[in-house]
Chains A and B, each alone.
Chain A
Amino acid sequence: MNTYATRTRNSRPEPFAVHVGLGERLGLAHMDWPLTIAAVALIAFSVFTLGQATQNDVPGDPNYFLERQAIYALLGIVGMVVLTRIDYSRFRELRVGIYTFLCATVTLVFFFGFAARGSRRAFELPFFSFQPSELGKLLLVLALAGFVIDGARRGSEIQRSVRYLCLGLAPAGLVFLQPDLGTSLVYVVATLAVMYFGGVPWTHFAVIGGALVALVALVLVVAPAVGTPILKGYQEERLTSFLNPDEHQNGAGYQQNQSVIATGAGQLTGRGDKATQTRLDFVPERHTDFIFAVIGERYGFMGAAFVLSLYALLFWRALRITTLSKNSYGTLVAGGIAVALLFQTFVNVGMNLGIMPITGIPLPLMSYGGSSVLATFLAIGVLQSINVQAHLSQKGRFAW
């Protein structure tokens, strides 16, 4: 405030005075505003949709999901702003601690987590149930990017690639065992993304790609054939039923079929409160995994395309930040976060539209859930921090 006072007292500004405004102090001045707007618009749309579509879901409390999601949104936005102010480069120094914390929390849920639908994923806290694997997506990117930068001159290229893979796949494996197939896939993708932006040679990705194809074949075809299935029956069915939904009309394909019907029925402008598919329970998990079908049915192509556009904006701005970063660590972190967001968005929306398997990956900033909302906002906060630091270091270069 003093600076403003100074400014008004003098008739003209001093030539070399540095004016620090409130925005600057909060770090908001160098925020990437399109990114912020996309994120806030998405969470606002989520709260709005939940408020309309889940009125009868919790008897006696029509605003149950709306209120909670709104609180998570506020907490998330606060967390984002706080992270914006922090120099993300600190996380590089803390990489070992972060990595240890990540592995510890996803391990502890096996012992202290509460079981829901046959899966231990979350700690039951007084206010909400905290799912460490959601925050883990961000933690993995922060830690792994640090390891990549740190190890850039140690060992051969192959040794380094193997090391990064192992570091990434360890927590992914733990999450897979919870079991949470979808989130573990996000871990794998985030690991690959960090390696990708870290400059791992293309040939290594070709090998990894080949190994992945072989692994999928092993898991889905070979292992069941020899009698030692790796996936649980429902997992395998969910993964493969989208290929032939008619055959699974009443089984795993049912959810997806109903989701596709709901989305299609929305037509161009949506059905509003006549959205019977989602209102009458035909679409399951409509506040979490299948919320995009709710949007599709209630608000039609216009609403759904608007939401998709916001995700496209989000991805573009995140990718843009990789190029602005003042250091490689920021590039890797931003790249990992951008690709993880793209992956989650595509897999979830694709699942809602019947072109991707059911993997239980929530739609970032749209699906109901405190852990997911908080973790996504924190990730966006890190992106903002990279952007802010780039500007502060005055090394921001050309960007699109």
Chain B
Amino acid sequence: MYLRNDSQPQGSRLSLRVAVAGGIGVVLFAVLFFRLWNLQVLSGDEYLAEAQNNRTREIKVIAPRGDILDRNGDILVDNRTSLALQLNTSKLPEDPAEEKAELVRLGEMAHMSLRKVRRTIAEEEEVAAGAPVTLRRDVGFELIAYVEENQEEFPGVTVERVFVRHYPDGTRAAHVVGSVGEIDKDELKEPEFKGLEPGDEVGKAGVEYSYDKFLRGDPGHTRIQVNALGEPTPGGQLVSEPPTPGSNLKLTIDGDVQAAGEGGLGARGLPGAFISMNIDNGEILAMGSNPTFDPSELIEPSQAQVNQLYRDPVLAPLVNRATESAYPTGSIFKIITALAALENGQITPDTVVQDNGLIEVGTQKFENAGGVAHGAVELRRALQVSSDVYFYLLGLDMWKTNELQEWAHKLGIGRPAGLDLPEEGESLLPDKEWRNQLYAEGLTDRPWSAGDNIQLATGQGDLQTNPLQMALGYAALGNGGKIPAPHVGLEVEDAAGRVLKEFEFEPQRKIHIDPGYRTAILEGLHAAAQEGDGTAAGVFGGFPIEIAGKTGTAQRPGHGDQSWFAALSPYPNPRIVTIATVEEGGFGAESAAPVVLDILEAIYDKQASEVGTAGGAE
């Protein structure tokens, strides 16, 4: 203790203490100088960038998607502007009770439960933290007016103009055009969606999906200066780059033909599908499936709509039965059996077979439909009256070889059709190897047998295919051996209608079909459709355009007979294949053929005579 009462402090001890205090001061100032140097000079660039990033917000200006047009230029899908209710969560009241109250009020307006509001916020925050949360698209004007008049009750709530897909004809070509939706987390990682951000809208189905990159367009950007609260500051618009709207997509679909098909199929009131395709270039003129849906319902579906659209496994309206179904085809398959047998020398067009109404193979009996005996038939007659026995025998002849399957495969059955839509279903062309494999694995009770091939010869048994695949087979028959690439995309246009890109779809492959065999089969089909006691003469007898057509009546386990009809028109030099099928529609001529007739009438713009309309015996 150096201190004496009010005396001079003792020098040396005080000096030490002052020196220590000074030393501490030096160290502390050195720390501050060093930190300052480090922050401002060594890392200044980073902090400057952070400050710049801090003060600017990039506001994305959404680009409208391109329109989807039919081949005549009529609009199938365009956009309308709509109002979306958005919420800036950072501006919600801090008090939890107040926040809850606001969310409840919002939920009431948007017809959402509090739980759903919170879930929506949580989901959107997860993908894009800090961005405004879209609570509900497509809200009504009266709601907007209410929110704007009562702004103080809804802090953070804004109304944004957004583009919403608009379908002027409701359900028209719904399965072809498909739908759009917000990009999901998995899609964000895919290269084709590079540059997109959470919340962006992309195609989810149909051509909206497969031609997304043309339809999508590029968003514009506006950079604005904001303050710490994220509010724009005066004069703070820095850069503005307008959005580039998506290009228009013209489809091969002909709206009139499509409407006829949908009308005809819809009139049956049963599930089914139709397809009409140019056999030379694969352009699909019409394609539809029943039951169908209105794509606008997918934008903000109600619970009832969700149940109906997504949760009904039997009617499944979102399934495109023209491409995603798995049906036996019945007798329309017979052209494939005929081609296989002819090309492999089993028969000639003039080989005569005695049809006694049934054949017996081992213990099994295979009968004609209705047990009718057609007597002596050659190929044309067999096709005209749809003699099953004739084709049973061909199936029997080929049961040990793979010839029937090879031809079916060549003609496009049981393999991907290469359609330019994401919706293509699984299919099955049963053969020896397949069944024996199942048998080896104990999944079935018997190996491949003659009966299996006999069934396949008439489009029955384990065959599972769809109208699109059958259309490819008929197309190859009609054009002499080209398997076209089926497609619905025709060209990309700008807003003024100038063509930006034409899609080229070369035939997928060519197969050799003897012209004589082709002619013989077409003659048989023509007779079936329009001559005497042909199976569909009742429907097409009075149709002024000559066609070749084949009815089919498929027995489907657990269902009533499924009606099929396949037509090549015009006869004898066909350009278009048209196929329709109606689940539980009975005989081919009963329900599928009239649908095809409706489509052909639209194509050729001709009215059938009274005979035609009488054909639809329901």
User: How far apart are B287's CB and chain A's nearest CB, in angstroms?
Assistant: 53
Asked if B112 is at the interface of the complex by the 8 Å CB criterion, the answer is no
Asked if B29 is at the interface of the complex by the 8 Å CB criterion, the answer is yes
How many pairs, one residue from A and one from B, have CB atoms within 8 Å of each other in the complex? Answer: 158
Does B3 lie within 8 Å of A328, measured CB to CB?
yes
B residues 15-60 near A (Cβ < 8 Å) are 15, 17-18, 21-22, 24-25, 28-29, 31-33, 35-37, 39-41, 43-48, 50-52, 54-55
Q: Which of B1, B36, B47, B225 contacts A280 (CB 8 A)?
A: B225
Does B228 lie within 8 Å of A353, measured CB to CB?
no
User: How far apart are B495's CB and chain A's nearest CB, in angstroms?
Assistant: 40
Known A319-B21, A327-B7, A328-B7; judge A301-B47 contact (CB<8 A): no
- Determine the residue in chain B with the shortest Cβ distance to A92: B6
Q: Cβ of A199: which chain B residues have Cβ within 8 Å of it?
A: 1-3, 9, 13-14, 17
Q: Give the one of A148, A271, A342 with max B CB within 10 A.
A: A342
Q: Which of B33, B40, B45 contacts A300 (CB 8 A)?
A: B40
Does B33 lie within 8 Å of A305, measured CB to CB?
yes
Of A98-106, A108-116, A221-229, A309-317, the one with at least 4 CB within 8 A of chain B: A309-317
Q: Which of B3, B15, B48 contacts A152 (CB 8 A)?
A: B3
Does B33 lie within 8 Å of A323, measured CB to CB?
no
Question: When each residue 194-214 of chain A gets 1 if its CB lies under 8 Å from chain B and 0 otherwise, what string results?
Answer: 001111010000000000000
Does A323 lie within 8 Å of B40, measured CB to CB?
no
Known A301-B37, A327-B8; judge A339-B21 contact (CB<8 A): yes
Q: Cβ of B226: which chain A residues have Cβ within 8 Å of it?
A: 280
- Determine the residue in chain B with the shortest Cβ distance to A323: B18
Asked if A261 is at the interface of the complex by the 8 Å CB criterion, the answer is yes
Q: Which of A282, A338, A350 contacts B32 (CB 8 A)?
A: A350
Does B21 lie within 8 Å of A323, measured CB to CB?
no
Measured CA separation A196–B54 after assembly (Å): 46
Q: Cβ of B48: which chain A residues have Cβ within 8 Å of it?
A: 264-265, 267, 271
Asked if B229 is at the interface of the complex by the 8 Å CB criterion, the answer is yes
Does A197 lie within 8 Å of B17, measured CB to CB?
yes
User: How far apart are A141's CB and chain B's nearest CB, in angstroms?
Assistant: 14
Does A149 lie within 8 Å of B32, measured CB to CB?
no
User: How far apart are A298's CB and chain B's nearest CB, in angstroms?
Assistant: 12
Dominant SS at the B interface? helix
Measured CA separation A149–B8 after assembly (Å): 11
Q: Which of A153, A196, A281, A328 contacts B9 (CB 8 A)?
A: A328
Measured CA separation A214–B5 after assembly (Å): 34
Does A260 lie within 8 Å of B39, measured CB to CB?
yes
Does A353 lie within 8 Å of B25, measured CB to CB?
no
User: How far apart are A234's CB and chain B's nearest CB, in angstroms?
Assistant: 13
Q: Cβ of B17: which chain A residues have Cβ within 8 Å of it?
A: 196-197, 199
User: How far apart are B227's CB and chain A's nearest CB, in angstroms?
Assistant: 4
Q: Cβ of A280: which chain B residues have Cβ within 8 Å of it?
A: 55, 225-228, 233
Q: Cβ of B44: which chain A residues have Cβ within 8 Å of it?
A: 264-268
Does B32 lie within 8 Å of A201, measured CB to CB?
no
User: How far apart are A155's CB and chain B's nearest CB, in angstroms?
Assistant: 12
Measured CA separation A263–B46 after assembly (Å): 11
Does B6 lie within 8 Å of A328, measured CB to CB?
yes
Asked if A47 is at the interface of the complex by the 8 Å CB criterion, the answer is no
User: How far apart are B325's CB and chain A's nearest CB, in angstroms?
Assistant: 54
Q: Cβ of B52: which chain A residues have Cβ within 8 Å of it?
A: 276
Question: When each residue 96-119 of chain B gets 1 if its CB lies under 8 Å from chain A and 0 otherwise, what string results?
Answer: 000000000000000000000000
Does A301 lie within 8 Å of B36, measured CB to CB?
yes
Known A199-B3, A353-B32; judge A262-B8 contact (CB<8 A): no
Does B1 lie within 8 Å of A346, measured CB to CB?
no
Does A338 lie within 8 Å of B21, measured CB to CB?
yes
- Determine the residue in chain A with the shortest Cβ distance to B37: A301
Question: When each residue 136-152 of chain A gets 1 if its CB lies under 8 Å from chain B and 0 otherwise, what string results?
Answer: 00000000000011101
Measured CA separation A298–B43 after assembly (Å): 16
Known A276-B51, A276-B55; judge A149-B6 contact (CB<8 A): yes
Does A261 lie within 8 Å of B51, measured CB to CB?
yes
Asked if A296 is at the interface of the complex by the 8 Å CB criterion, the answer is yes
Asked if B4 is at the interface of the complex by the 8 Å CB criterion, the answer is yes
Question: When each residue 284-315 of chain A gets 1 if its CB lies under 8 Å from chain B and 0 otherwise, what string results?
Answer: 00000000000011001100110010011001
User: How far apart are A353's CB and chain B's nearest CB, in angstroms?
Assistant: 5
A residues 143-198 near B (Cβ < 8 Å) are 148-150, 152-153, 157, 193, 196-198
User: How far apart are A370's CB and chain B's nearest CB, in angstroms?
Assistant: 26
Measured CA separation A355–B229 after assembly (Å): 26
Asked if A130 is at the interface of the complex by the 8 Å CB criterion, the answer is no
Does B40 lie within 8 Å of A157, measured CB to CB?
no
Known A277-B54, A280-B227, A350-B32; judge A264-B40 contact (CB<8 A): yes
A residues 310-367 near B (Cβ < 8 Å) are 311-312, 315-316, 319, 322-323, 325-329, 331, 335, 338-339, 342, 346, 349-350, 353-355
Q: Cβ of A266: which chain B residues have Cβ within 8 Å of it?
A: 40, 44
- Determine the residue in chain B with the shortest Cβ distance to A341: B25
Q: Cβ of A198: which chain B residues have Cβ within 8 Å of it?
A: 3
Q: Which of B1, B7, B8, B36 contacts A353 (CB 8 A)?
A: B36
Q: Give the one of B18, B29, B39, B48 with max A CB within 10 A.
A: B39
Known A331-B14, A339-B21; judge A263-B47 contact (CB<8 A): yes
Does A296 lie within 8 Å of B40, measured CB to CB?
yes
Measured CA separation A305–B32 after assembly (Å): 9
Q: Which of A258, A308, A319 contacts B33 (CB 8 A)?
A: A308
Q: Which of A323, A326, A355 contacts B14 (CB 8 A)?
A: A323
Q: Cβ of B45: which chain A residues have Cβ within 8 Å of it?
A: 267
Asked if A19 is at the interface of the complex by the 8 Å CB criterion, the answer is no
Known A281-B227, A328-B3, A329-B6; judge A319-B25 contact (CB<8 A): yes
Measured CA separation A325–B14 after assembly (Å): 12
Q: Give the one of A265, A308, A316, A349 with max B CB within 10 A.
A: A265
Measured CA separation A167–B7 after assembly (Å): 23
Measured CA separation A354–B39 after assembly (Å): 10
Q: Cβ of A305: which chain B residues have Cβ within 8 Å of it?
A: 33, 36
Measured CA separation A277–B54 after assembly (Å): 8
Known A268-B44, A281-B228; judge A152-B5 contact (CB<8 A): yes
Does B227 lie within 8 Å of A296, measured CB to CB?
no
Does B50 lie within 8 Å of A153, measured CB to CB?
no
Q: Cβ of B15: which chain A residues have Cβ within 8 Å of it?
A: 323
Asked if A7 is at the interface of the complex by the 8 Å CB criterion, the answer is no
Q: Which of A157, A335, A395 contacts B21 (CB 8 A)?
A: A335
Q: Cβ of B32: which chain A residues have Cβ within 8 Å of it?
A: 308, 346, 349-350, 353
Q: Cβ of B2: which chain A residues have Cβ within 8 Å of it?
A: 199
Q: Cβ of A277: which chain B residues have Cβ within 8 Å of it?
A: 51, 54-55
- Determine the residue in chain A with the shortest Cβ distance to B28: A346
Q: Give the one of B13, B14, B15, B45 with max A CB within 10 A.
A: B14
User: How far apart are B15's CB and chain A's nearest CB, in angstroms?
Assistant: 7
Of the A-B pairs whose beta carbons lie under 8 Å apart in the complex, a sample of 14, sorted by A's number, is A148-B3, A193-B21, A199-B17, A265-B47, A267-B41, A276-B55, A277-B54, A277-B55, A280-B233, A282-B227, A296-B36, A327-B8, A338-B21, A339-B21
In the complex, besides A276-B52, A296-B39, 9 extra interface pairs with C-beta distance below 8 angstroms are A149-B3, A153-B5, A197-B21, A265-B51, A280-B228, A301-B36, A304-B40, A328-B6, A353-B36
In the A-B complex, the 4 residue pairs with the smallest Cβ-Cβ separation, listed nearest first, are A264-B47, A267-B44, A265-B51, A281-B228
